[in-house]
Structure 1
Amino acid sequence: MDFQNRRFQVLLAVAAIVVLSITAERCQQLVGEEGSSQSGKFTILNCFDMGSGTVACGVKEGVKLYFYNIRSAHVERARHRAIESALVDAVSQGMSPKDSATYVQKESKKAAKLASRQAKRIIGPIISSGWDFFEAIYYGGTVTEGFLRGTGTLFGACGGGFLGEQKLGRFGYLVGSHLGSWVGGR
């Protein structure tokens, strides 16, 4: 089997999600309505009730996007500072325009890589996982359920953000971490 094939990886991910979903549904049927999670009662449709559900969804998604965007802004700020500094250095050394451009590009890439390592994509996923943990508890779930949901959100957001950033850069990180957070929390 070719595990490097993109189609195979996508098919495997879809199959895993379907199997997990069916398993979760069967487990809920085994423990009954009273013993099962109450946090699952809040669905995506509650986000469109034009009431408290809409406000709750808007706040939750807004907070997550805000924190995911903090990391991206940090990297861009570091890149911009490096460009300014490298331009000053290039002018003071009397480099030609072509050499200056190469030098500035190299320095900005180095600074962005360092800033990305420093941020390590941690703020957004931690906020998301904490939010999902407390949401599960608020809707009557157990601490174990909250822990599992928060952990799934954390790993989903980190993994989705990493894969998205590799494919589409900053926008990919935002979309990937948001989508990964949603899938991991389910």
Structure 2
Amino acid sequence: MTKKKRVHFLLALVAIYGLSTAAEKCREMVGKEAASKSGQFGIMDCLDGGTGTVACMVKEGVKSYIYSIKTTHAEIASHLAKEGALAEAVSQGMTAKDATKEAQKAAAKATKVASRQAEHILGPIVSSGWDLFETFYFRGSITEGLVRSSGTLVGTYLVGFLGEKSYRRVGYFVGSMLGSWVGGKVGVMIYDLVNGVQYILQKPQQQPYQRPAGHDEF
């Protein structure tokens, strides 16, 4: 890691720590009812025999569906690449055996690229959608869900891209996982911070704090 990257990393940590501290103060200030509700979903919620179990089943179902889309996309890309490479090899006068080898190489390469493209597109969307669903499960507001899921989406794409740039596939996998978690947390912090600012602005009017329009529970 270069000196410039280390400085950027440290600045990001300081910014997140400052945002976390400010958000915590805002949560204490506005009270439990108005503060964020998400970020609490755990494995035990999947075993409650009720909505938590349904939520986990839905999550796994979506993951399976996304996986099938990814597989189908890769198969189509592989088939098209194989046909194109085979036709080109034959037109160049290669033997059937050599043409088949070239087609198989092209198909394998196309499958790898298509799978990676699908991961880059579908992975962040699934993570973002799950965070939105989790917020609604814990009766958070619509605004909280949108802010948190937006943070997850941006974090997954951004950190995943930076990780892949430095450490290729492993970097993307680790970066996207980390980015998803950090992005969601930052989104919730921003939500609480805005809530706190609105509370401070309302306080001089001596009125009970109310969530702004659009912050109704799902």
Pairwise TM-score range, normalised by the shorter structure: 0.5 to 0.7
Q: Does 1:34 align with 2:21?
A: no
Structure 2, gaps ≥5 residues long: 186-218
Q: CA RMSD in A?
A: 4.3
Q: Which has the higher contact order (CA 8 A, sep 6+)?
A: 2
Identify the residue that residue 43 of structure 2 maps to in structure 1.
47
Structure 1: tracts of 5 or more residues without a match: none
Secondary structure of the structure 1 residue equivalent to 2:120 = coil
Q: Distance in 2 between matches of 1:64 and 1:164?
A: 23
Change (3 A) 1:59 1:8: farther
Q: Which amino acid aligns with 1:36?
A: A
Cα deviations across residues 130-154 of structure 1 (Å, max 9, x unaligned)?
A: 2111211210211111111011011
CA distance in 2, matches of 1:159, 1:125: 10
Aligned positions, number: 177
Q: Match for 1:22: what amino acid? A: T
- With structure 2 as the length reference, what TM-score do the two structures score? 0.58
1:86-116 CA-to-partner distances (Å, cap 9, x unmatched) read 4774475258xxxx9xx99xx78x9689858
Larger Rg: 2
The alignment status of 1:128 with 2:142, answered yes or no, reads no
Q: Which amino acid aligns with 1:182?
A: W
SS in 2 for 1:145: helix
Structure (1 or 2) with the greater helix fraction: 1
| TM-score of the pair, normalised by structure 1 | 0.65
Instruction: Kindly provide the amino acid, as one letter, of the partner of residue 139 in structure 1.
Output: F
Equivalent AA in structure 2 for residue 32 of structure 1: G
* % same residue: 54
Written as runs of structure 1 = structure 2, the 5 A alignment for 1:50-69 is 51-52=47-48, 67=66
Moved over 3 A (4+): 46-92, 110-120
Counterpart contact for 1:47–1:54, Cα < 8 Å: no
